[in-house]
Homo-oligomer: A and B are copies of this chain.
């Protein structure tokens, strides 16, 4: 809920009035749970996102015995999480905004973790390390780009097409071992 408010309005645009009305919590309650104010609310949302991705995507990519299957699952989970391109990536939006500096370290860590988890899965599936790193970077970059352009062009289908291209490329690398 809190996450959706930041997603829809951005950090600056999500005023306490908006947050209060959307969450149904008065200011008293908000400041009781988040003494640090808006910044702590956003930090809490980032905590949730990081935990979700760590559990549902990064850890399987790093640990699933079937590395190739975990890569396919990653694309499916990505498609579901971003509602096939109808939902933006809050961390990505923060990265392009004025709050980037406030959360610089966490934003950096999120994308690095994603990229490294994909690379680790590729390596475990037998792909050479240099190629794995290259493909992982391209994967994360393409997903973020698709979220920007799908939103800009109001064309959610673009997201699916991008995931399709990534899938083809990952499969080719896996088959080429």
Contact = CB atoms under 8 A, between A and B. Distances in A.
Interface of A: 8-10, 12-13, 88, 91-93, 95-98, 100, 104, 107-108, 110-112, 134, 137-138, 140-149, 151-154, 158, 161-162, 165
Question: Interface centre among A112, A138, A152, by most B CB within 10 Å?
Answer: A152
Contacts of A92: 96, 148, 152
Given A93-B97, A97-B93, A141 B152 contact: no
A134 B147 CA distance: 17
B148 A144 contact: yes
A135 to B, nearest CB: 10
Contact of A143 (B9, B10, B93, B145): B145
